[in-house]
Chains A and B, each alone.
With several copies, the nearest count.
Chain A
Amino acid sequence: MDRPGVIRPANDRPRASRLSVDTREVDGAVVVEVTGEVDLDTAPRLREAIAVALAETAGGRCVLDLTTVGHLDSAGLTALVDATREAAAQQARLRIVVDANRPVIRPIEITGLNQVLHLYESVDEALDESATS
């Protein structure tokens, strides 16, 4: 299988990863609920969804709910780091809900990003204005 008859370039390979994004407004904050797998193929969609939500909140609050994400790799971690930086640059807040969901919390902790991302245990906690990460 090393030498396929047709060599496809990297941008013409099959992509099948699943990611669904659901955005709703709660108490003036935008809650982005992500379900599925965040990887090289889907990370751009996650970035885009967060960017749109941040634009909608206009300096407000965005809550990213990752409790139903089943896979998060380094492409996803980069998206989270960069979105957090971008939110700060816009004077907005990006709060990430992970609870104990292992496929999400494990890569975050192993790369030390729990020190960088604003992590919360539940959407309610993240929506609580007085709560700090």
Chain B
Amino acid sequence: MSMQPRDVGDSDPHQPGLTCDLAATPIRRIRQLVRELLDDHLGVLRDDAVLVADELVSNAIQHGQGPRSCRLTLIDNGRGLLAEVTDAGPGTPHMRTPDNNGGRGLVLVNRLANSWGVRWCQGRKTVWAELVSDATKHNGRAPHLAIAPEWTGQE
């Protein structure tokens, strides 16, 4: 079973998954789809996957440019999810110091996903995140959280 992020448009057709055009799919529907794809008994992992997919989609809407699409793929024999959100915008997703205007989306993704990243291909970028149930979550050990030294602060 593959744990490898796939290239845009290069997803394995034998993997259960689906692609949505974000110009036609509400964020709410993406959350529903994640819940439907992942089994109930996965508990926290399922909630986390819903949140992670929601954050990637929200970012594509707020910071990206159309066309925007979201692909959800079951991995790890159905016990994990790969969420891939593609947009045509030039900006680079990056962890920033959270403040009153935001900055907690990728902090959540970075803490909840086992791995995440960005890939650029033919002028589009895909932001992806993988959650799998059996791997140890790395809570608080991520050195790149260090860029957010005041992330609990209010101003």
- Does chain A touch chain B in the assembled complex, meaning CB atoms less than 8 Å apart? yes
- Chain A residue numbers with a CB within 8 Å of B77 are none
- CB distance B86 to A2 under 8 Å? yes
- CB distance A1 to B66 under 8 Å? no
- CB distance A13 to B28 under 8 Å? no
Name the one of B24, B58, B86, B151 contacting A40, with C-beta atoms under 8 angstroms.
B58
**In the complex, A58 has a CB within 8 A of chain B:** no
Given contacts A18-B28, A110-B108, contact A78 B100 (CB under 8 A): yes
- Chain B residue numbers with a CB within 8 Å of A74 are 55, 58, 102, 104-105, 107-108
CA A16 to CA B26, docked complex, whole Å: 6
Identify which of residues 114-138 in chain B touch chain A, using a CB-to-CB cut-off of 8 Å. none
B contact residues, total (Cβ < 8 Å):
44
**In the complex, A103 has a CB within 8 A of chain B:** yes
Name the one of B21, B23, B102, B152 contacting A116, with C-beta atoms under 8 angstroms.
B152
- CB distance B51 to A73 under 8 Å? yes
Name the one of A2, A73, A85, A106 contacting B58, with C-beta atoms under 8 angstroms.
A73
CA A41 to CA B58, docked complex, whole Å: 9
- CB distance B98 to A111 under 8 Å? yes
> Which B residues have a C-beta under 8 Å from some C-beta of A?
9, 19-29, 31, 44, 47-48, 50-51, 54-55, 58, 61-62, 64, 66-69, 86, 98, 100-102, 104-105, 107-108, 111-112, 151-155
